[in-house]
Amino acid sequence: MDLHDLQLRYFGNQDMAQMPQSVLEAGLERMRVDFGLESDAGRRFALWALMFMLGDAPDLDVAFKNAAERDAARNFMDLAAGLSEE
């Protein structure tokens, strides 16, 4: 899944800075529902990654039962933290 496509799907816009709070909240709610229903590991990870970047991701132990998936999520978090430091 492409993160830009996810933004368009859930928020109808790729410009998050111009998005009204109500649109953001509604999109995040839809993402939480879809995340809970999604069975494909790659799609679940993409949804989690976007929710993480928006500050609304579930905790790793809740989101990922598989240790390898939790490790991948931790790596993603470390990479994202490195980008914000630059």
Q: Which amino acid makes up residue 80?
A: A
Full residue range of the structural domain in which residue 33 is found: 3-85
Distances (CA, A) of 3 to 20, 28, 52, 63, 67: 19, 14, 12, 18, 23
Nearest Cα to Cα of residue 31 among 58, 64, 62 = 58
Angle (nearest 5°) at CA 58 between 30 and 83: 100
pLDDT at 4: 84
Q: Name the domain count of the chain.
A: 1
Distance CA 34, CA 80 (A): 23
pLDDT in tens, 33-78: 999 999 999 999 999 999 999 999 999 999 999 999 999 999 999 9
With 0.85 as the threshold, say if the pTM is over it.
yes
